[in-house]
Amino acid sequence: MSPSRPRRLIVVAGTATEIGKTWVAARLLRELRAEGRDVAARKPVQSFDPDDALTDAHLLGDASGEAATDVCPRHRWLPIPMAPPMAADSLGRPPFTIADLAAEITWPVPTPDIGIVECVGGVRSPHASDGDAISLIEELQPDLLLLVADAGLGTVNAVRLSLEAIDRGAHVATPIVVLNRFDPTDELHRRNRDWLESTLPVEVLSSVPAVMNRLRPS
């Protein structure tokens, strides 16, 4: 990673794939830009269905005002829906490491106020030949870690297991749980949130505006 890192570095991870990490990250980027904050988004590697019109890098870049190839280096675009190291092997590309991915992250000049790095899949999903999302978090040492989770059935187990994995990592990032697709009129969603809030030693937020409030200077 380039030495001139953002003033505040945020990593967005998830309890699983298709959980809404990109949606949450893009929404935050748009809200931050609307408030006049300088932002940048990075996705060190992405694998995707080649039939998809837009990749995560396109969506993040559209939100941050950057080119998709600035968000994710073009040689790290893997057009096959598998975990990145598996996709690279299937495509006949050389293996790469977590250190490789981190070293390829470059930030705009001047350095943005906030940089958001989005992981792939869940916290234990392989990102490179030698590591997963936890490994990338350890390498990047972010200031804040957002763990995006679903609000519905199964989320208590998924959140607890993900936080246990995060807690074992060699980093100092503060984790915050973000319940995506939270519906305050849904009893299960409310009970899941209340259960997590009452049993976990971390913040549990249920909307992007709540995350924005957390990011604003006190």
Q: Which residues are catalytic?
A: 43
Query: 3-class SS at 193?
Result: helix
Residue whose structure tokens are 């019109």 = 53
18: number of Cβ within 10 Å? 9
Q: How far from 45 is each of 35, 72, 218, CA to CA, in Å? A: 29, 6, 34
Q: What is the dihedral of CA 61, 66, 71, 74, to 10 degrees?
A: 110
Record the tokens describing residue 58, joined without a space. 């396109």
- How far, rounded to the nearest angstrom, does the alpha carbon of residue 194 sit from its chain's CA centroid? 24
Rounded to 5 degrees, what are φ and ψ at 18? 55, 35
Give the pairing type, strands 8-14 and 144-150.
parallel
- How far, rounded to the nearest angstrom, does the alpha carbon of residue 199 sit from its chain's CA centroid? 24
CA distance 43 to 217: 26
Residues 116, 42: contact at Cβ < 8 Å? Answer: yes
Record the tokens describing residue 141, joined without a space. 């040492």
